[in-house]
Amino acid sequence: MVNTKINLCGIEIDNPIIPASGTYGFGYEFAEIYDINCLGTFSFKGTTLEPRFGNPTPRIAECPDGMINAVGLQNPGVDKVISQELPKLAEVFHKPVMANVSGFSIDEYVETVRRLENDPAANKQIGWFEINISCPNVHGGGMAFGTSAKAAEEVTRAVREVTKKPMFIKLSPNVTDITEIARACEAGGADGISLINTLLGMRIDLKTKKPVIANKMGGFSGHAILPVALRMVYQVYDAVSLPIIGMGGISTAEEVVEMMLAGATAVEVGAANLIDPFASKQIIDDLPRVCEKYGIKDLNEIIGGAH
């Protein structure tokens, strides 16, 4: 028997597989096709203080081995997430969920987390916060916090004031030195680091000779970005003494093992859920067999093993 249970900042989860924010809605959509309680947990859709309609369309472009999205944090806003989305999730998912939060100012991050904390039902449902300081698809916020060490530390420190729950800060790969940003988050009081969000990319339509995406650029994700994500997780593992949630291009159980060897304690699966809605479940089903194949008895023993 392979042990796939891992401890994520004091909360034990059955396996390290976590569908990534923005690719799994609020979970109940997927519960229609399989029992989502097989997941370690999942990170719900990036939630902001106010409702957001998102960016103009087209906002998806296909790429070889990946995709570009410029969804722009479409979500109903934190109050509706609390009153409508989380109650629907509670009916089908009986484990702690990861609350992914975005903002356009430090006050917005703080107020969104505060409202989730202060609602008794939401508070009970949420195991961890994942603070997204890395969305490339919105102006005047998101990635702006994730590309400056000073701003990353400030937002981390401010959110730390309003929650005692484990808090992961989600970093952008669109920086020169990812270790500097990770260290700033550690200094600000983060409990863990999530990485990577999408890489800024674009495509051009040969017929119109214009960018495919209305917003011109978007976030590139999917299988093609795996080597970049592995490299950054490997670097951050050396730079901080916090647990890491690794993501970017994961679509198989073998790649989960690879990400954990680079330094991840848990692994998020993003675009793969959009290609195959059963992708996360398939990875969970495959994981024990893959561990046995490579002589792994306990996943905890391989974290950072490549160093």
CA nearest to 167, candidates 127, 122, 135: 127
Residue 2 vs 231, nearer CB to ligand FMN: 231
| Span of 21-29, 111-119, 121-129, 153-161 interacting with ligand FMN by CB under 6 A | 21-29
Residue 46 binding ligand FMN, by CB under 6 A: yes
222 binds ligand FMN (CB under 6 A): yes
Whole-number Å distance between alpha carbons of 264 and 258: 9
Residues 6+ apart with CB under 8 A from 98: 18, 21, 41, 42, 43, 44, 126, 127, 128, 129, 130, 168
Going by C-alpha positions, the residue among 161, 146, 296, 158 that lies closest to residue 236 is: 146
* Sheet containing 97-101, strands listed edge to edge, beginning at the edge strand earlier in sequence: 17-19, 266-269, 244-247, 192-195, 167-170, 126-132, 97-101
Q: Of the candidates 225, 233, 264, 299, which one interacts with ligand FMN according to CB under 6 A?
A: 225
Does residue 20 bind ligand FMN (CB under 6 A)? yes
Site membership for ligand FMN, residue 250 (CB under 6 A):
yes
- 68 SS3 class: strand
Q: Is 112 in the site for ligand FMN (CB under 6 A)?
A: no
Q: According to CB under 6 A, which one of 13, 45, 115, 243 is a site residue for ligand FMN?
A: 45
Cα Rg of the chain, angstroms:
18
User: Binding of ligand FMN at residue 249 (CB under 6 A)?
Assistant: yes
- Position 71 contacts ligand FMN (CB under 6 A): yes
Closest residue to ligand FMN in the complex (CB): 22
Cα–chain center distance at 61? 20
Rounded to whole angstroms, how far apart are CA atoms 97 and 183? Answer: 26
Residues 133-162 that bind ligand FMN (CB under 6 A): none
Q: Which two tokens stand for residue 175?
A: 């920086």
69 near ligand FMN, judged by CB under 6 A: yes
Q: If binding is defined by CB under 6 A, does position 48 make contact with ligand FMN?
A: no
Is 221 near ligand FMN (CB under 6 A)? yes
135 tagged catalytic = yes
198 binds ligand FMN (CB under 6 A): yes
Helix axes 253-262, 226-239, angle to 10 degrees: 30
Catalytic site residues?
135
Q: Which residues are near ligand FMN by CB under 6 A?
A: 20-23, 45-46, 69, 71, 73, 100, 132, 170, 197-198, 221-222, 225, 247-250, 269-272
